[in-house]
A and B are shown apart, each in its own frame.
Chain A
Amino acid sequence: MISDITIGQYYKENSVVHRLDPRNKIILTVIIIAMIFCCKNFLALALVAAVIIVSILFSKVPMKMFFKSLKSIIPIILFTAILNLFYVSGGKEWSFWILKISEKGIYTAVFMAFRIILLIVASSILTYTTVPTMLTDAIEKLLSPLKVFKISVHSLAMMMTLALRFIPTLIEEIERITNAQKARGADFENGSLIDRVKSLIPVLVPLFVSSFKRAYDLAFAMSCRCYTGGDGRTRMKQMKFGIKDIGALAFYAVSFTAVILLNKYFGALI
């Protein structure tokens, strides 16, 4: 089912991580992603994993939620790992039939797989602990310096908020129209590729029509409530950068330094 998508879902809980300033959470996520990419050996990667696990424990989001979001990308992880396994050479080599596996290939494959898993888990922490609207507000704040270049950051953020808001509505709508066309004998499962693409038209046309209508209605409703864009708009919930934010930032900064030191003293694997 399409409605099983878990990446980007909010997990309700009242933890320290949930209460962090969303701007800070975005910055922290960027830092941890940078950390993951800086790792050059398994020790450094293990340290980053530890930092992520500590963050998860603080967030009180159950581990199984993260396994759920990993499940959907298992094919990508496997694909990357297998490619690395066969294409990287160096060290001892074993060959059977036409395939050749090297020692370095095995290390790289495992390393890459871990890297992707950590990337997904790290970004899931952000989306599990932050409501989408807060996230877009934070992005708006963080990008506000771009106003200097005459970029309307507010409009971009508003578009993102609306898009996120309407994803469940669209999924529901797709299901409804699909059912209606199936009742008229539409066949989405059989036939050649061209047939299947063609069979989507009866779903896509009504979907576009109603989406445009919804967009007009929404724009009209917004202007009725005097929405005129971002200028002079204030917020009901102000974002506050507090002590816990500084603490989290410091924790990540120390870990980052440690990663760099580990890289330096234990050599580079890749």
Chain B
Amino acid sequence: MSVTVLETKNLTHVYSKGTTSQVDAIRDVSVKIEQGELVGIIGHTGSGKSTLIQHFNGLLKCTSGTVLLEGKDIWQNKKNIRDVRFKVGICFQYPEYQLFEETVYKDIAYGPKNMKLSDEEIDRRVRQVISFVGLDESYLEKSPFDLSGGEKRRVAIAGVMAMEPSVLILDEPCAGLDPKGRETVLSLITSYREKTGSTVLVVSHSMEDISKIATKVLVMNNSELAYYDTVDGVFTHSSELYDMGLNVPQLTMLFLKLREKGYDVPVNVYTLDKAKAELEKLLKGGSDE
């Protein structure tokens, strides 16, 4: 039923190999990502998240191991690496710094143009993605440099979405935005996935954000893959996540503390409903004594 889109086998990447500043950025990562999932990638600073995702579209070449896209090694034919980049779209951290055209329209059209699409198709895509990111068409004629930070961010994300990649990867799309901006970006990511059915990978520092939107969670720790599981599954390791220096949601924190105090509660609690149910159960049990 589930089809694997992206797969890595024993992926290892070493920066500046053979010099004194050699770093193992990722070590022996093997993971299968299924079609249509929304995968949250989390891990502490420097755990290798950005390095990992740059392998998915061939921006980095692994030191050893393989990356398979739809079952084919992406490096099998070097000339086709651009096609891989059209299938796997990456939007980097702070993407607003990559805008360069005179108008928002032209900037969004840059990716599709590189794909050599027809003008009508480009026009259709530009108008579609600008609505995906929640901006109206009056924005298309504005200069990208006149927009606010959050709007620029959305235009940049639209620029990657316009290539209609089958896998969309976003590196910390919420970095530096206020709570409302974060919410907007998160919701546009989920609605994009619902509308297009594509696979989406989101890198984030916030377990809270990830737990709200993701179907699967990939946890990186010290350059290695720690967990790859459903949100529920990963949260059963809440205390380990906390030890890895991740900011687990406050609700989960509460349940971790309760458990420390000797109460018999589960630790994979991250939604308000579940927390309420569990607390009620606990209180009822408590009143019996």
Contact = CB atoms under 8 A, between A and B. Distances in A.
A182 B92 contact: no
Contacts of A243: none
A183 interface: yes
Given A177-B97, A205-B100, A210-B97, A183 B160 contact: yes
A67 to B, nearest CB: 16
Contacts of B89: 183-184
Interface in B69-114: 82, 85-86, 89-92, 95, 97-100, 110-111, 114
A246 B131 CA distance: 74
A182 B85 contact: yes
B114 A187 contact: yes
A184 B110 CA distance: 7
B114 A183 contact: no
B145 A209 contact: yes
A196 interface: no
Given A177-B97, A180-B98, A185 B54 contact: no
A173 to B, nearest CB: 8
A185 B111 CA distance: 6
B211 interface: no
A202 B113 CA distance: 13
B115 A185 contact: yes
Interface string A161-198: 00000000000000011011111111100000000000
Nearest to B83: A185
| Interface residue SS majority, chain B | helix
Contacts of A209: 97, 100, 145
Contact of B86 (A179, A185, A205, A206): A185
Contacts of A177: 97-98
Contacts of A186: 114
A210 B96 CA distance: 11
B3 interface: no
Nearest to B159: A184
B203 interface: no
Given A176-B92, A179-B59, A179-B92, A185 B97 contact: no
B206 interface: no
A23 B103 CA distance: 51
Nearest to A201: B100
Contact of A180 (B92, B115, B145): B92
A176 B89 CA distance: 16
B8 interface: no
Q: Which of B97, B99, B145, B163 has the most CB of A within 10 A?
A: B97
Contact of A183 (B92, B97, B145): B92
Interface string B137-180: 00000000100000000000001100100000000000000000
A185 B59 contact: no
A4 B125 CA distance: 41
Given A184-B111, A184-B114, A186-B114, A179 B54 contact: yes
B145 A185 contact: no
Contacts of B66: none
A209 B100 CA distance: 9
Nearest to A205: B100
A187 B82 contact: yes
B57 interface: yes
Contact of B90 (A176, A183, A187, A205): A183
B99 A206 contact: yes
A201 B101 CA distance: 9
Contacts of A183: 57, 59, 85, 89-92, 160
B100 A206 contact: yes
Contacts of A176: 92, 97
Contacts of A205: 100
Contact of B160 (A184, A201, A206): A184
Contacts of B85: 182-185
B200 to A, nearest CB: 15
A186 B100 CA distance: 13
A187 B114 CA distance: 8
B82 A185 contact: yes
A206 B110 CA distance: 14
Contacts of A181: 98
A185 to B, nearest CB: 3
Contacts of A202: 98, 100, 110
A269 to B, nearest CB: 42
A252 B99 CA distance: 55
A179 to B, nearest CB: 5
A132 B82 CA distance: 40
B237 to A, nearest CB: 32
B176 to A, nearest CB: 15
Given A180-B92, A185-B82, A202-B110, 13 more contacts: A176-B97, A180-B95, A183-B85, A183-B90, A183-B160, A184-B85, A184-B159, A184-B160, A185-B114, A185-B115, A187-B82, A202-B98, A209-B145
The 9 closest A-B pairs by CB, nearest first: A185-B114, A205-B100, A180-B98, A184-B111, A183-B90, A180-B92, A202-B100, A206-B100, A179-B59
